[in-house]
Amino acid sequence: ACLSPGAGPGDAMAFGWSFDLGSPVIRSIVLRYTGEATGVGLAFDNFSVASLPGPPVVSVAAEADTVCTGEELQLTASLTGGLGPYSYQWQVRQGGGAWFDLGIASTESVVVTGTSEYRVLVTDATSTVVTSDAVPVVATDDALCDASLLISCSASSSVVRYSFRSRLVKPFVTPGSGGLNATSDLVTGADGFVYVVSQNDDRVRRYDGLTGAFIDVFVAAGSGGLNVPVGLDFGPDGSLYVASAATNAVLRYDGATGAFLNAFVPAGAGGLSQPTGIRFGPGGDLFVASWSNDRIIRYDGATGAPMGDFVPAGSGGLDAPRGVRFGPDGDLYVTEQTNDSVRRYDGTTGAFLGVFVSAGSGGLDRANDIFFGLDGLAYVASFNNDRVLRYDGVTATPAGELDDALLSGPAWFAQSAGPRATAVPPVATSAASLFVESPAPNPFTTETRFAFTLARGGPARVTIVDVTGRRVATLRNGPTAAGRHAVTWNGRDDAGKLLAAGIYFGRVETPEREQCVKITRIR
């Protein structure tokens, strides 16, 4: 600010300053005179702050109000007013009890157990503290939590997971994980692992069925002549079958080791040309979409011998079939690349029954695969516009979509373990009586070790359970002193039998609490 040129002793002048809301709090002001005159004195007379913003107003939004037990969701704080910068403190409580601190960012990811309430405390630059209203989130274990839907995304070389209960889409296999390149079909094995076709490098990769973490390359590049793999499925014999589109064949691999066994359907057998989706039917036979000649071919599920065209070429207008799936009614549903539709055929005879999803219905653009969900809806991958569309599972009336930024070239579906299978521990108490550490190594082949700490001595039981909750081994059971204890598991059950590779849980139980840690055994 400048004094007027004629100002002299005793003259008064008023100056004002305005500061952005994001500026630091003004603690002091220093006046300096930089003119040429001597003996000049400056002083404040009636200094006051004209205005300060009011206290901040904060609200909290949760991605969903009902989720499956163990499902993760994000909380977001919305803030208006106040004077920045701001600090955050998220809190949680259950059953109307005490509040416990969580994270300190503007958003918070939580894993929900039971019925929980969440809130955030915000402090602005003037040390004003405001508290949001509590947002309740209910965790349930109903039938919609029995499984999740996995969606392969070809363009991003990733897999996402969809919850039928919360309707949230979350990352599962991150883009390019383990070298994944152009994700195609995927399937969950009996061991709980997820097997994913990596089309551009002719491999099948294996991932943890709960976390999506990369495990290994299950089928090596080009094994048995594999070239442009597309569809895959486990057969009744436990083997893994993969469609090799460039060689017009279906190849068979050992379901435990991934070793090549044979060409189950030799090149061109039965007229096979560029196979895409494959599926073992209710009777155990193999049904293969023959993309370039517009038919569905049936093969003996034990020998691979051709049994003729189940759906003859062009039946009902079939053109460039992709996915094949038997519905809850026993009929066969086929997605079409060219007609942007889904056709329905008798599951016993292959006779055309009608168009299930008509061309372009709901915005369908290149129908790639179909899946019938636990919620009674049919899900169809709309590859060209990065959408997964929902339809009534009986009438095919459009019922919304999964329009999510994570969907990039959605291609194929598989069912996986439900969110509740993560078996997360309950919310901590103020005087936690039990803490269980992560196992190491994990995954393991021959032996793994994990530790737990008791705040108070007492009875404790340590067991290994499988993904169904069945106890397979007891590692410790009896009085246990307070403090830290370590246990080792060698991958065997109580009878000494070496268990199959797969996902297990180390469970520690006390009279007060129970906690689980996930353990993955590989060969």
Asked if 102 and 75 count as a contact pair (C-beta separation under 8 A), the reply is no
Domain residue ranges of the chain, discontinuous segments joined by +: 57-140, 143-420, 428-521
- Res 98: pLDDT: 83
Which residues are bridge partners to 253 per DSSP? 240, 260
Q: Among residues 337, 287, 324, which one has the least CA distance to residue 309?
A: 287
> What amino acid is encoded at 335 in this protein?
T
Q: Residue 498 has what DSSP assignment?
A: B
- What pLDDT does 16 receive? 58
- Sheet of 275-280: strand order equals 275-280, 286-290, 295-299, 306-311
The domain made up of 57-140 has a fold known as: Immunoglobulin-like (2.60.40)
The burial class, CB within 10 Å (0-12 / 13-18 / 19+), for 160 is buried
Cβ pair 311, 353 in contact under 8 A: no
Q: Which residue has the tokens 């919609």?
A: 144
Q: Which CATH number is 428-521's, of 2.102.10.10, 2.60.40.4070, 1.10.10.10, 2.60.120.260?
A: 2.60.40.4070
Query: Which of 327, 283, 326, 328 lies closest to 307, judged by CA?
Result: 283
Would the CATH topology of 57-140 be identical to that of 428-521? yes
The tens digit of pLDDT for each residue in 161-181 reads: 999 999 999 999 999 999 999
Name the residue among 185, 194, 187 with its Cα closest to residue 153. 185
Q: In this structure, what token pair is assigned to residue 141?
A: 């274990």
Q: Report how far residue 221's alpha carbon sits from residue 401's, in angstroms, rounded to the nearest whole number.
A: 35
Q: Are 117 and 389 in contact (CB under 8 A)?
A: no
Per CATH, the number for 143-420 is 2.120.10.30
Q: Give 127-155 pLDDT, tens digit per residue.
A: 899 999 999 999 888 889 888 999 999 99
Which residues of the chain are modeled with pLDDT < 50? 21-22, 420-432
Check: CB of residue 144 under 8 Å from CB of residue 68: yes
The rounded distance, in Å, linking the Cα atoms of 156 and 406 is 9
Yes or no: say if 122 and 130 are a contact pair by the CB < 8 Å rule.
Answer: yes
Predicted TM-score of the model (pTM): 0.75
